[in-house]
Structure formats: C-alpha cells, structure tokens
C-alpha cells in the first residue's frame, strides 16, 4: 500500500510561489504526465492573477 499523498498535496498547493520545478511536482504527485500536474497546479496558482490586478490598479 502506498502512503497517502494528502499531506504532500496540501504542502505543495503554493508550489509556484515556492518555485518548485514541474517535473519534481509530477514525481511527488505521482502523475504519469506533467500536463496533468500543470493542470492540477493551475488550480492553486493566484500569484500571476494578483500581479495582473496590481498592475492595473497601479496604472
């Protein structure tokens, strides 16, 4: 039986902000495809949206 990945998922929900390479995340999430990892990770990524909003508001 494989160990649960729930703690890893919780810790890596902000992986983009921590600059963790997608291939490392793929291995940690045990995804077959890096595309799956990128799609999954995009659900947690708000940094770029926040920066875009800040750029518009500071205009």
Please report the pLDDT score of residue 23 as a whole number.
92
Sequence ranges of the domains in the chain: 7-57
Rounded to whole angstroms, how far apart are CA atoms 43 and 27? 18
Banded model confidence at residue 12, pLDDT cuts 50, 70, 90: low
The tens digit of pLDDT for each residue in 22-39 reads: 899 899 989 999 999 888
List alpha helices for 1-59, DSSP H.
6-11, 22-29, 34-42, 47-57
Task: Say whether pTM exceeds 0.75.
Answer: no
Q: Which two tokens stand for residue 19?
A: 């600059």
């Amino acid at each position: 039986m494989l160990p649960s990945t729930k703690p890893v998922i919780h810790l890596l929900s902000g992986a983009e902000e921590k600059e963790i390479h997608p291939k490392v995340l793929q291995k940690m999430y045990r995804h077959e495809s890096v595309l799956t990892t990128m799609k999954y990770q995009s659900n947690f990524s708000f940094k770029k949206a926040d920066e875009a909003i800040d750029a518009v508001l500071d205009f």
